Amino acid sequence: MNTGKFSTIICLLAFFVINTIILSVTIADEQQSGVGYGRGGRMSGGASSAREDEPIKPISINFDYNRAKVELGKKLFFEPRLSKSGWITCNSCHNLATGGADNLPTSIGHKWFLGPINSPTVLNSKFNLAQFWDGRAKDLKEQAGGPIANPLEMGSNHELAVSILQSIPEYVQWFSEIYGLDEMYGDEIITIDQVTDAIAAFEETLVTPNSNFDNWLNGYDNSISEIEKEGYDLFKEKGCIVCHNGVGVGGNSYQKFGIAKPYDKDTHTLGRYNVTKDEKDKYVFKVPLLRNIELTAPYFHDASTWDLAEAVNIMNEYQLGLKLTDSETSKIVAFLRTLTGDQPSVIFPILPPSTSTTAKPNRN
């Protein structure tokens, strides 16, 4: 055999053996220490279990839902004929293209009426202990029925909205397939309970997992920067975490706005008092979710600021009695931006046409 070829073969064999040994040692080491790789980069061994005790929890991905009901709920979410004018939809105030909110101080309703309060995001709303700022709806299903019949919002009523759906054969078929509609005098009857149930089923799928912070919680160290980590530490040290915790980073409690200092920017909106009529509930509101907060300006129930840094300072002043340095504020804001997750990817539905018996839009 040619000496040059023999030497080349020997070198290649040696290279193969050495790399096999190195690979085997590396795999064994990673298996022992629990090292892995994911969207957020390298995950240090044992980090995931160490962060299970953090007061904020990551969003888990769940595909266990009734797809046909969710698809019907999506159609209804984008259905303008549920409004009296035939123009306003759930998406009008909870725009899925802009963080699940409308980015307005108050929403524009029927006949261009302006609502009395800032519209909260629909994203991750399943994590709220109740719905609306004052918690007057116990769940998403109950909430879904409110705007339809509110004269300042969609301006219709439940009877009219249901009769419009009832006049469209495709809707009758879809409701029948999902709910097994009752027959009355030979007609299959849609109910408002079924309408709100389907809308709620769709809204429950509108979650935003895989934020950089969630990836960090799951052990991927490189998912957030050192500045963002310092911001999270400040968020805990200053006391923000007392109200903003859990999966939604809020939404799981009620708090008075103005604990450390009376909130003088809005003394007219009474919050939960309107539900309970209890004096101690004046100016008490459901704590808002902080996920995707950078997308949902303006902030607070009264939309008193469009600037996230100012919102952080207001919270510290009125809720905690603290004054932050500019550096502390910027670090907390940097942390808050890590809470933006994957936005729902929604294909706009094609809605069935009206019929000759469908009520016409009414802008009056």
DSSP, res 318: I
Beta bridge partners of 36: 43
Q: Which of 71, 142, 153, 177 is catalytic?
A: 153
User: If you compute the radius of gyration of the chain from its CA atoms, what whole number of angstroms results?
Assistant: 26
**Residue 156 in tokens:** 């219709």
Q: Is 12 exposed, middle or buried (0-12, 13-18, 19+ CB in 10 A)?
A: exposed
Residues 251, 244: Cα–Cα separation, whole Å: 8
243 known member of a binding site: yes
**Residue 144 in tokens:** 């879904």
11 known member of a binding site: no
Residues 6+ apart with CB under 8 A from 243: 250, 253, 255, 287, 319
To the query of whether residue 153 is one of the catalytic residues in this protein, the response is: yes
Where residue 67 falls (left for φ over 0; alpha for ψ -120 to 50; beta otherwise) is: alpha
Q: Are 78 and 256 in contact (CB under 8 A)?
A: no
Phi, psi of 336 (to 5 degrees): -60, -35
Q: At what angle do helices 192-203 and 169-179 cross, to 10 degrees?
A: 80
Phi, psi of 204 (to 5 degrees): -65, -20
Q: Are 302 and 114 in contact (CB under 8 A)?
A: no
93 known member of a binding site: yes
Which among 216, 62, 221, 85 has a CA at the least distance from the CA of 147?
85
Residues 6+ apart with CB under 8 A from 256: 282, 283, 284, 285
CA 144 from centroid of its chain's CA atoms: 16
Q: Is 153 exposed, middle or buried (0-12, 13-18, 19+ CB in 10 A)?
A: buried
Q: Which SS3 state, helix, strand or coil, does residue 182 take?
A: coil
298 cis-preceded (ω within 30 degrees of 0): yes
Catalytic residues: 153
Q: Binding site: residue ranges?
A: 90, 93-94, 110, 240, 243-244, 315
Residues contributing to the annotated binding site for heme c: 90, 93-94, 110, 240, 243-244, 315
